[in-house]
């Protein structure tokens, strides 16, 4: 193979995005994958989960159909839901491969490892490149005494890769995003779910206490409640099921277990030391503010970013490619990357929350608006949602946003585009919004900041200037 400008290890969202961005800018690129093209997000993460989530929401909405004048009943068929997500994954993967080909990006299938600072071997074939991006992703982690057992103790990788095992009684483990999402999704898709968590769901996240409370209420309304302190001391697996022995001595009998207990970076076998690359305490590759792991080498996504989401991987890819083309031009800003949770209540956030702002010496103020009286949300039968904007009282700079409710993951992108600019609040206030739409609450939240916190000069600078001249 002729010399490459860039070799990318890993074809998940970060690796794919990096390869595409580099090729569009004229670099000669190859992308290397040892497993399934598209990585975790496409094959056993974001994409198939979103298909299931949409179905789960349709079934959840059906409880209000009679009052809307819609008759009939819906029932869930989990094996068919599994086949449906596989068709979506296959469609997206075909499009993915076609686009790489049209951009002239070489695809190498095999195991990559470093031979030296800027040289690789893919299986036994040497590959040299002016720059290398490591986007090797992550893999599920199970705490003892759990271990993966086909058909009995599964991770999300296992559940999306192979048809679901028989049986409706499922234990979902984990208080993080995966556990919180899958407990709702599997319940709505017809399974009998027991949700075991060691602590309050999302308690280690940056979502606010009001957002977590609203989610708990929505989950309770759907008939889902976590069993707190559900720590597992022992596991018994038989031919017909799994018994979990909990820390309090209670025994829980289920057909199978889904463990959403975290992930760890995939660095084993890369021979990172040959390139002078180091890893931290949690196994992530150590990088600087531009995702540089060593001269000529960047690391992005789950393998280097503790955020461990597709959104972080995509943002990291843009940082790394920008740094290759124009060193130092685009620093990594994790706080500007949206975080989205798909559960009984969709949650999304970007930027800083009040506590984070205060630790940076800022003076945060919040503009709050509820979706309870929003015409678009009411028409869809939704309640309990809200939008919060956090801004700095002194400078007027938009610091963060949080949204709870259907479509939160779409709306947060509108806010994320403005964050980081001094004019964010005034631009949001002067934008034209569709009516009726949930997006109108952005304007209401900004106007609340102006009225309640005396921020008119930042939100409506022209109006403030006119008033000062009178």
Q: Which of 26, 29, 4 is nearest to 18 (CA)?
A: 29
Sign (positive/negative) of CA torsion 147, 56, 350, 202? negative
Prior bond to 82 cis, omega within 30?
A: no
Q: Can you tell me which residue has the tokens 């290397």?
A: 32
Q: How far apart are CA 461 and CA 465, in angstroms?
A: 6
Q: Is 298 a catalytic residue?
A: no
Q: How far apart are CA 391 and CA 366, in angstroms?
A: 6
Q: Which of 84, 187, 312, 435 is catalytic?
A: 435
Q: How far apart are CA 321 and CA 311, in angstroms?
A: 16
Distances (CA, A) of 198 to 20, 128, 223, 292: 41, 47, 20, 36
Beta carbons of 154 and 259 less than 8 angstroms apart: yes
Q: How far apart are CA 246 and CA 229, in angstroms?
A: 9
Q: How far apart are CA 54 and CA 49, in angstroms?
A: 9
- Catalogue the E-assigned strands of 58-207: 106-109, 112-116, 119-122, 125-134, 138-140, 153-154, 169-173, 192-197
Distance of CA 44 to the CA centre of its chain: 13
DSSP 8-state code for residue 285: B
Q: How many helices (H) and strands (E) does the chain have?
A: 15, 23
What backbone torsions phi and psi does residue 427 show, to the nearest 5 degrees?
A: -70, -40
The residues carrying an active-site annotation are 435
């Amino acid at each position: 193979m002729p010399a490459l400008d860039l070799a990318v290890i890993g074809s998940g969202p970060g690796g794919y995005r990096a390869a595409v961005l580099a090729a569009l800018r004229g670099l000669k690129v190859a992308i290397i994958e040892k497993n399934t093209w598209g990585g975790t997000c496409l094959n056993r993460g974001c994409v198939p989960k979103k298909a299931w989530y949409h179905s789960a929401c349709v079934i959840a909405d059906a409880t209000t159909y009679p009052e809307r004048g819609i008759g009939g009943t819906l029932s869930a068929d989990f094996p068919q839901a599994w086949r449906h997500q596989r068709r979506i994954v296959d469609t997206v993967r075909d499009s993915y491969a076609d686009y790489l080909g049209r951009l002239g990006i070489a695809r190498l299938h095999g195991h990559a490892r470093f031979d030296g600072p800027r040289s690789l071997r893919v299986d036994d074939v040497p590959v040299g490149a002016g720059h290398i991006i490591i986007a090797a992703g992550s893999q599920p982690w199970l705490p003892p005494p759990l271990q993966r057992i086909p058909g009995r103790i599964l991770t999300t990788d296992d559940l999306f890769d192979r048809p679901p095992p028989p049986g409706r009684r499922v234990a979902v483990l984990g208080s993080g995003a995966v556990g919180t999402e899958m407990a709702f999704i599997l319940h709505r898709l017809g399974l009998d779910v027991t949700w075991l968590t060691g602590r309050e769901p999302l308690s280690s996240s940056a979502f606010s206490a009001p957002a977590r409370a609203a989610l708990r209420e929505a989950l309770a309304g759907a008939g889902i409640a976590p069993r707190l302190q559900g720590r597992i001391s022992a596991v018994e697996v038989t031919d017909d099921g799994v018994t979990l022995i909990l820390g309090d001595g209670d025994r829980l009998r289920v057909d199978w277990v889904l463990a959403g207990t975290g992930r760890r970076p995939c660095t084993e076998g890369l021979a990172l030391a040959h390139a002078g690359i180091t890893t931290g305490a949690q196994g992530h590759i150590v990088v600087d503010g531009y995702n540089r792991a060593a001269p000529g080498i960047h690391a992005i996504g789950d393998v280097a970013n503790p955020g461990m989401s597709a959104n972080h991987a995509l943002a990291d890819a843009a940082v790394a490619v920008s740094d290759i083309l124009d060193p130092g031009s685009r620093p990594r800003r994790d706080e500007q990357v949206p975080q989205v949770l798909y559960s009984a209540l969709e949650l999304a956030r970007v930027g800083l929350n009040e506590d984070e702002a205060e630790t940076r010496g800022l003076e945060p103020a919040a503009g709050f608006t509820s979706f309870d009286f929003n015409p678009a949300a009411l028409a869809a039968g939704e309640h309990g949602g809200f939008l919060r904007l956090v801004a700095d009282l002194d400078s007027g700079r938009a610091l963060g946003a949080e949204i709870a409710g259907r479509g939160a993951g779409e709306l947060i992108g509108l806010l994320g585009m403005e964050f980081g600019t001094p004019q964010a609040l005034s631009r949001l206030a002067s934008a034209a919004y569709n009516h009726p739409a949930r997006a109108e609450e952005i304007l209401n939240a900004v106007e609340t900041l102006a009225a309640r916190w005396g921020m008119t000069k930042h939100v409506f600078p022209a109006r403030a200037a006119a008033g000062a001249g009178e």
